[in-house]
Amino acid sequence: MKQNFSKFISFLFYFSLILEVFGDSSVSIIGRFVFDSKENCAIIDWPGVYLQFNVSSTQEIWVEFDDVQKFPQNKRSLEADTTSNIFQIIIQSFNSKINITSELKLIVNEGKTRYQIASNLDPSQTYSVSLYKRTEALSIAKFYRAIIDGGINLYVNPESKSLKNRKLEFIGDSVVAGYGDECKSIDEPFSAETEDVYLAYGPVVSRYFDADYFIEAISGIGVVRNYGDPNKTSARPFGFYMNSSLRSNTSEQYSWDYSKWQPDAMVLHLGGNDYSTLPHPDDDVFIKGYRDLISHYRYFYGDIPMFITTGPMYGDPVKLIQEIISLEQPNVYFVNWTNILTPDLEGCQTQFNVEAHAIMSNILIKSIQQVLGW
Ligand SMILES: *[C@@H]1O[C@H](CO)[C@@H](O)[C@H](O)[C@H]1NC(C)=O
Ligand SMILES: *[C@@H]1O[C@H](CO)[C@@H](O)[C@H](O)[C@H]1NC(C)=O
Ligand SMILES: *[C@@H]1O[C@H](CO)[C@@H](O)[C@H](O)[C@H]1NC(C)=O
Ligand SMILES: *[C@@H]1O[C@H](CO)[C@@H](O)[C@H](O)[C@H]1NC(C)=O
Ligand SMILES: *[C@@H]1O[C@H](CO)[C@@H](O)[C@H](O)[C@H]1NC(C)=O
Ligand SMILES: *[C@@H]1O[C@H](CO)[C@@H](O)[C@H](O)[C@H]1NC(C)=O
């Protein structure tokens, strides 16, 4: 009896120690994701989604993922890897301001795999660990857990919410997704390695304001017509995907619950693809399509400021965007980055490189400061 009691006490002691050391010992996910309760994992594919957790009393950190190719039949390029998910990892010690940065490229279709993301950490320190998905929905990442010394598991918090007070949401096309922003020249083929949404303007601006962010962006997507469509309108433009927690599966069971995350402001960046190739959509169809998108978000988010932009590619429908903005007043603002781009700022296939994103960020930062007073 006595022995059992002391066992119980030491169990309690051990348990409270664990609680004390690990605090909220789960993995928070910022961005849309699906929690799979059967497999106890997070299913992630939208660009820029990030995972965050704190660790202490450990030298090593492992993460367990399964990465599944989204469109096995759809190989866009034979020259380059266009299917992998890549994460930017930042491990920051609470006490020193030093960051340990690295990259994690998931192996596609390899099954559940453990990846070591840190070794030689100081067990007396507490670290915050962040994994930022830097690729768009090229494949589906299933995250199961983080594992630290002693075989301690940190599982997904299905109710993850923002850890920061400020929140921004970005919707858009390839520019928002960071398509080709790490290409050295316009001739380089698209690849997962050269798509880095972490360095695209949305996350750059968010970091400047210490804001959490959501990004729903799809390369080639339009308001009513996607890139290269032989018709004036497409069956599956942006609105087809906008409600989904997953880019790869729009079935109703994965509908995103908008009440979970209310941004302070939104940036809408679409229209370039609608007017990129011929035939162009009819202007009134485009305007109506865009206004429908705006009312959709207004319905869920109310009167938050909306920053609307296009380009800065040549031929983008700047005039139409301005017309939409004047029709949608108040609380709608034009972000003007007309004519800011020079040829040395181009990433692959006339997209924008990291430097261009930095220039765009500075302009957007000024607009947000003026409107939100941040
Ligand atoms: C990590 O710890 C810090 C400080 O206690 C806390 O503010 C933050 O929310 C924690 N992060 C996570 C992902 O729990
Ligand atoms: C470390 O990373 C954080 C983002 O997690 C960033 O805000 C901070 O500026 C970085 N610090 C250094 C010294 O690079
Ligand atoms: C174009 O639209 C027509 C009718 O509106 C449809 O029958 C046809 O399948 C469309 N073409 C493509 C390639 O989507
Ligand atoms: C998205 O959600 C809105 C509001 O619930 C709904 O009206 C609309 O039909 C949905 N769109 C799609 C493509 O499911
Ligand atoms: C979407 O998910 C549902 C439920 O898991 C599944 O039945 C369906 O086949 C999926 N659709 C696609 C296109 O993967
Ligand atoms: C946007 O900037 C361009 C180039 O500086 C300028 O010509 C244009 O008038 C501006 N448009 C608006 C609506 O401010």
Q: What is the pLDDT of residues 312-335, one digit of tens each?
A: 776 789 999 999 999 999 999 999
Counted residue by residue, the chain has a size of 374
Calculate mean pLDDT across residues 187-203.
94
Closest Cα to atom 4 of ligand 2: 90
**pLDDT level of residue 78 (50, 70, 90 thresholds):** low
For residue 162, the model assigns a pLDDT of 86
Closest Cα to atom 13 of ligand 3: 230
pTM of the full predicted structure?
Answer: 0.92
For residue 5, the model assigns a pLDDT of 46
Q: Considering every ligand atom, which ligand is closest to the CA of 128? A: 1
Output the ligand 4 site: residues, CB below 6 A: 239-240, 243
Calculate mean pLDDT across residues 266-295.
97
For residue 74, the model assigns a pLDDT of 54
Output the ligand 2 site: residues, CB below 6 A: 90, 92, 97, 99, 130
Calculate mean pLDDT across residues 91-114.
92
Calculate mean pLDDT across residues 132-142.
96
Please report where in the chains the tokens 């990259």 appear, as a residue: 103
Looking at the CA of residue 128, tell me the nearest atom of ligand 2: 5
Calculate mean pLDDT across residues 23-47.
92
Question: Could you tell me the distance, in angstroms and rounded to a whole number, from the CA of residue 99 to the centre of ligand 2?
Answer: 6
**Fold of the CATH domain 23-156:** Jelly Rolls (2.60.120)
Looking at the CA of residue 130, tell me the nearest atom of ligand 2: 5
Least trusted range by pLDDT, from 29-38, 68-77, 141-150: 68-77
For residue 24, the model assigns a pLDDT of 54
* CA-to-CA separations, 326 to 291, 296, 301, 321, 323, in angstroms, rounded: 11, 18, 20, 9, 5
User: Considering the domain 166-372 in this protein, what is its CATH number?
Assistant: 3.40.50.1110
Is the pLDDT at 160 greater than 90? The verdict is: no
For residue 19, the model assigns a pLDDT of 44
Q: Considering every ligand atom, which ligand is closest to the CA of 341? A: 6
Looking at the CA of residue 98, tell me the nearest atom of ligand 2: 13
Q: Considering every ligand atom, which ligand is closest to the CA of 231? A: 3
**Both tokens of residue 168?**
């921004």
CB neighbours of residue 21 within 10 Å: 15
Burial class (CB in 10 A: 0-12, 13-18, 19+), 316: buried
- Residues 335-360: pLDDT tens digits? 998 888 887 888 888 788 999 999 99
Question: Could you tell me the distance, in angstroms and rounded to a whole number, from the CA of residue 243 to the centre of ligand 4?
Answer: 6
Beta bridge partners of 368: none
For residue 186, the model assigns a pLDDT of 85
Average pLDDT, the chain: 90
Is the pLDDT at 69 greater than 90? The verdict is: no
- Residues 290-316: pLDDT tens digits? 999 999 999 999 999 999 998 777 678
Q: Considering every ligand atom, which ligand is closest to the CA of 127? A: 1
Looking at the CA of residue 235, tell me the nearest atom of ligand 3: 14
Residues of the chain with CATH 3.40.50.1110: 166-372
Closest Cα to atom 2 of ligand 1: 54
Burial class (CB in 10 A: 0-12, 13-18, 19+), 74: exposed
Calculate mean pLDDT across residues 226-248.
97
Looking at the CA of residue 54, tell me the nearest atom of ligand 1: 1
Is the pLDDT at 11 greater than 70? The verdict is: no
Residues of the chain with CATH 2.60.120.260: 23-156
Calculate mean pLDDT across residues 281-292.
98
